[in-house]
Structure 1
Amino acid sequence: MALLTFGVGAGLTGSMGLTVPGAAAQTAGEVPGNWSGNVSDSEIWRQIRHGVEGTVSIPDKKAGTLVQAHGDTWRAFMTGPLNSFGSWLLLISIVGIAAFYFIRGRITIEAGPDTMGRTIERFNGLERFAHWLAASSFVALALTGLNLLYGRHILKPVLGADSFASLTMLGKYAHNYIGFAFMAGIIMMFVLWVRHNIPNMNDVRWLSVGGGLFTKGVHPPAHRFNAGQKIIFWLVIVGGVTLSLSGLAMIFPYEIAPWAWLLPALNAFGAELPAQLTALQEVQLSVLWHSFTGLIMIAVIIGHIYIGSLGMEGAIDAVGTGHVDLNWAREHHGLWVAELEQTGGIEESGRPAE
C-alpha cells in the first residue's frame, strides 16, 4: 500500500517529497527504505491505469482511484452504440407512424358521432390531472434528456458553444426538478388505474385481431382499458419507476446505489455479472440505464401521442374534456359501456349518473 501511495502521489504532483532519517541514506543504488525501488515506473503506472485504489486523507475517498479504468469503455458505449441505438429507434418510430397514417388513415367513428350529442365521462378531473402531470413533465424530461445526448451534434452548431452551454445547464437543472413531478404523476396514475389494467382473456382476443387498428370495421370488445392501453400503462409504470430510481441515483450520486443489490440478485439466477462495483461505476451504470430506458419510453410515448390525437377520432376528448362520444365508447370499449348501462351509470343524456 505504501507503494501505491507513492504512485498516486507521484501521478498527482509529478513528484513526492520524502524526509528520511540519515541512517536510511541511499546505499549501492537502493532507494532509501527499500520500499519502492524494486518496482519500475511502468509497473506503477500499469497498476494505476487498471484502476488500482489507494488511500487518501481527504474526505472524498473516491479520489484514491487516480484512473477510473472502465470510464473510457463507458464513454465509448454512451457516444457509440447507445447513441446509434437511440437515433435509429426514434427514426423508426416516426417513420413507422407516418407510414401507418398514410396506409391506414385516421381511425374514425364508424357509426359517426352520436346524433344526439350524447357523451360518457371517461376520466374525471383528478384522473386528467394525473395524466397531464405525468405527460407534460415527461415531454419536458424527454426534450432536456435528448439535448444531453444529441444536443452537441444538433443544437451546438446552430446556437454556438456559449449559448448551447447555457441552455444545456438550464435544461439539466430543469430535468432534475421536473423529474419529481413525473414521479408524482406516475404514482397517481398507478393508484387510480391499476385495478382497471389487470390482464384478462378479453385482452387476448383483442390482441388476436390487432385491436381493429389495422382493419376497418373490426371492433373487438374491451372494458374501460383495452389490451393496447394496458400494455402502455404497464410500460409507463415499470419504465417510469426504473427511470425514477436511476434518476435519483444520479441526483444523489454515491448515496443511492441501486445496483449493489440488483446485480448479486441476478447472479443468483445464473447471471455472471460483477458483484462488486465502485461508487463511480454505480453512477455510470445508472446513467447508462437511464438513457437506454428513456429512449425506449420516448419511442413508446410517440406512438401513444399519435393514436390519442391525430390517429383516432374522438380519442383526445378523453383527456381533454373528460367526456367521449357515446358511439366512440361503444366501438372501442363496448364492454365498459354495457357495464355502465347495466348498473345505471348512464343517464338518458349519456352522461354518467352521479
Structure 2
Amino acid sequence: MNKWFKQIGIAIALLFSVTAFAHDGAEHTHDGQATEGQIWSQLKAGAEGRTTSTSEFHAQPINTYDLRVLELRSDILAPALMAALFGMIIIFVLFIKVNGISKLHGGFSGKLVYRWSKFDVSIHWLGAIPCLLLILTGLTLLAGRFFFQPYIGEGLWSNLVYAAKQVHDIMAIPFMIGWALMTVLWAKNQLPKMYDLKWMMVVGGYINFGPFKGKHPDAGFANAGEKLWFWAFAVFGLVISASGMLLLFPNLFEPSRTLSLIALVLHSVSAIIITAFSIVHIFMATVMSEGGMECMVSGYCDETWASQHHNLWFDEIKENGTLKYKE
C-alpha cells in the first residue's frame, strides 16, 4: 500500500512540475514577444546593431530598399511586362482583324533583290532568338510568382523557375553579342531623315481605310518605324546588357546594394520596353507586311516589296549599279 501511495505522490509531483514549467514558459514567451516587438520598433526607428560583419551595411539591420523594390516589382513592373507581351499581341490581332495586312500591289514579281548579307542574317538571329527566350524566361522570373505560381503545383513551379533562370543566364551572352554587332554595323542605315516624318504621319501606309488608305510614303533602306525600333533596341539593349552584367556577375563587379537594386529596376524597365517593341517588330515582319519575312530568311526581298516599301533605297541601288538579283 505504501508503495502505491509513493508512486501516486511522485506522479502528482511530476504533474505540478510540468504545469509550473508550462506556465513559466508561457510567461517567458509572452515577455519574449513583447521584447521582440520593442526591438522591431527600435529597428524601424533607426537603431543600429553591432555584428562581426565587415560589410558596409553591417550597421543597417533593416533593408528598406528591398521592401520598396518588392512593391514596385509586384505592383508595377510585373503587370507592365505582362501587358507589354500579351497586351501588344491582343492589340495587333484586333488591328489585323479590322485593318487587314499590307498587300503587295500587283503581287509578287518573282524577282528577288539582294538586301542583307548572310552575315547580317546570322547576327540578326543571334540577337533575335536569345531575345525571345530572354523575354519568356524574364516574364517567368519577374511576374511568374504573381500570375503563374498560384495556378500550378509547387513542384512544377520550382522546376519551371529553375529552368527559366538557367536559360536566362545562358542566353544573356549571345544576346549581348548580337546586340553589339547589330548596333555597330547597322547604325549607318538607321540615321533619321526628313522624309521619315512623312512616313510617321501616314503610319507607313499600313492603314487600309480612311485618308491613309493607299498611301505609300518614301523610305530608304530602313523606314521610320524600323529606325525607331533600332534605336530603342540600341539604347535599352545597352541598359539591359549593363545592368544584366551586374546582376549576372555580382562577385566580379561587387556592386553596392543600392546599385544592385537600381540595376534590377532598370533591367526590368528596359525589358518591358524591348518586349513591347519586339512584338511590334515581329508582327510587322511576319504578318503585316506581305513578303517582309523573306528578307531575314534568305537575305533577299521581292522586287515589288522593295519598290513599294523602300522605294528610295531601291531607286538608289538601281542608279549606282549595286542592284543584284538572286540567280
TM-score range, shorter chain: 0.7 to 0.9
Deviation at 1:244, TM superposition (A): 0.7
Unaligned runs of 5+ in 2: 1-31
CA contact (8 A) 1:223 1:336 kept: yes
User: Partner letter of residue 149 of structure 1?
Assistant: L
Is structure 2 residue 213 aligned with structure 1 residue 220?
no
CA distance in 1, matches of 2:319, 2:132: 39
Q: What is the RMSD of the two structures over their aligned residues, measured on CA atoms?
A: 2.5
| Aligned partner (choices 221, 232, 237) of residue 235 of structure 1 | 232
Instruction: Decide which moves more: 102-111 or 313-322.
Output: 102-111
2:74–2:146 CA contact under 8 A, matched in 1: no
Give the one of 138, 142, 147 matched to 1:145: 138
Query: Aligned partners of 2:187 and 2:254: how far apart in 1?
Result: 28
- 1:1-354 matched pairs, under 5 angstroms: 45-46=40-41, 48-49=43-44, 56-114=51-109, 117-157=110-150, 159-214=152-207, 215-253=212-250, 256=253, 279-347=256-324, 350-351=325-326
CA shift, 1:159, in A, is: 4.3
Distance 2:249 2:57 in 1: 15
SS at match of 1:120: strand
Normalising by structure 1, report the TM-score: 0.75
Q: CA deviation at 1:213?
A: 1.3
In 1, the alpha carbon distance for the partners of 2:242 and 2:94 equals 35
Q: Which has the larger radius of gyration?
A: 2
How big is the shift at 1:52?
5.6
Amino acid at match of 1:228: G
- More helix, by proportion: 2
Q: Deviations over 1:13-63 (max 9, x none)?
A: xx9xxxxxxxxxxxxxxxxxxxxxxxx998865453256665543454434
Give the % identical residues.
29
- Within 2, Cα distance between the matches of 1:343 and 1:70? 59
Q: In the aligned structure 1, how far is the partner of 2:254 from the partner of 2:213?
A: 50
Compute the TM-score of the two structures, normalised by the length of structure 2: 0.81
**Following the alignment from structure 2 to structure 1, what is the Cα–Cα distance between the partners of residues 175 and 249?**
17
CA distance in 2, matches of 1:131, 1:45: 54
Give the drift of 1:289.
1.9
Q: Quote the offset at 1:173 in angstroms.
A: 2.2
CA deviations over 1:173-198 (Å, ceiling 9, x no partner) = 22122111111001110122100011
Partners of 1:212 and 1:219 within 8 A in 2: yes
Instruction: State the AA in 1 paired with 2:237.
Output: G
TM-aligned CA distance change 1:294 to 1:311, over 3 Å: same
* Aligned residues between the structures: 290
When residues 92 and 174 of structure 1 are mapped into structure 2, their CA distance, relative to the original with a 3 A threshold, is closer
Stretches of structure 1 that go unaligned for 5 or more consecutive residues are: 1-14, 16-39, 259-278
Shift of 1:80: 1.3
The structure-2 alpha-carbon separation of the partners of 1:229 and 1:56, relative to structure 1 and needing over 3 Å to count, comes to same
